[in-house]
Amino acid sequence: MAFIPVNPAITKNGSLLSLIPKFGEERAKVVPLEETNNDLIFVNFNVVQESISTSVAATIKLSPIFGGDIKYNDKAYYLDAIAYVDKYDKVISEDRVVYATRWGVGIRIVLKLTNLDVNFQLSLNSIGAAVELGKVNARYEIQGLGLGIDGLNIVLSKLSPVDDFTYDTYLAIKKKVIPELSKYIAKNKETLIPQPIAVEINEPLSVSNLYKGKTVAFTVKQIARGKSLEECLRSNSDLYDEDIILDVYEEMVGKVKKTDTPSDDAVSRARNWLRDIR
């Protein structure tokens, strides 16, 4: 499984606060860093960026920007500019859900993408370009990971902690924030304290993601076929979540009567969506 970004806050016993509600305190314990030479952690400064499920981002409270309703075409994305080391549990036990922990120092930039009009390979560059073209709305938050006040101030002198993400934001991160941050970490490696910033776990965070995905796909197929909301609900036969069906229809077709058929534009968007996920 891939590493999942987490809030580094832990209890005195070493349990991640964000995972305790889901798995309990004992099972949410991180793999300890133990005695590790800081040179092993800070020898390389890397940029890790990936998209994750918005439902997972909300479940683990990755950022306040994931509060409120989550729509079918919302996406979550994060970038970690960090120096880190991965620690693995020597014995995988059912008593613990975390079997690997990434300890590191740096910054995390979390983005919530909404009103995504097209599917494309996500990166900070492509997101910034899509925002400029009106293909997506993006909101970001900057989080310091073990940097301390001085290190975080370097970042916040270039960017607001929370704001709309634009192509200019991407350029500032690439050309100003990351170069200066890497120099700061290298210079202060003896005093910086690594934090548990990501984990690999042996249980899913959201067991309903597959079900939700199937419901979305079913609904979009009905729209692509020109079916009205009433016809879609009639075809459902209680197999899929009606609330998700209603949400997808409103997002893709708009607020229409149940008997209204989708517009040609909505049908075209639905067909494009289905083509892109093949």
Given 201, 232, 250, the domain boundary residue is: 201
> What pLDDT does residue 211 have?
60
In sequence order, the 6+-apart residues with CB closer than 8 A to the CB of 12 are none
**Do residues 187 and 218 both lie within one domain?**
no
Identify whether residues 167 and 229 lie together within a single domain.
no
Same domain, 133 and 230: no
**Domain check: are 228 and 192 in the same one?**
no
- pTM, whole model, 2 decimals? 0.72
Which domain-ending residue is among 201, 226, 257?
A: 201
Last residue of a domain, one of 201, 226, 246: 201
d(CA 107, CA 110): 10
- Is residue 56 within 8 Å of residue 76, measured between CB atoms? yes
In a shared domain, residues 17 and 143 = yes
At residue 23, the pLDDT reads 86
Enclosing domain of residue 214: 209-276
Residue that has been written with the tokens 């892109």 in this structure:
276
Phi and psi at residue 240, to the nearest 5°:
-125, 165
Q: Are residues 63 and 131 in the same domain?
A: yes
Q: Would you state the pLDDT for residue 234?
A: 84
Report mean pLDDT in 10-residue bins for the chain, 278 residues.
87 92 89 73 82 80 79 83 89 78 94 79 90 92 92 92 96 94 90 92 64 81 91 76 80 85 90 75
* Residue 233: strand, helix, or coil: helix
Give the pLDDT confidence score for residue 205 in this predicted structure: 67
What is the tally of structural domains in the chain?
2
Instruction: Give the orientation angle of helix 242-252 with respect to helix 229-236, to 10 degrees.
Output: 150
Phi, psi of 185, rounded to the nearest 5 degrees: -65, -45
> 91: how many CB neighbours lie within 10 A of its CB?
6
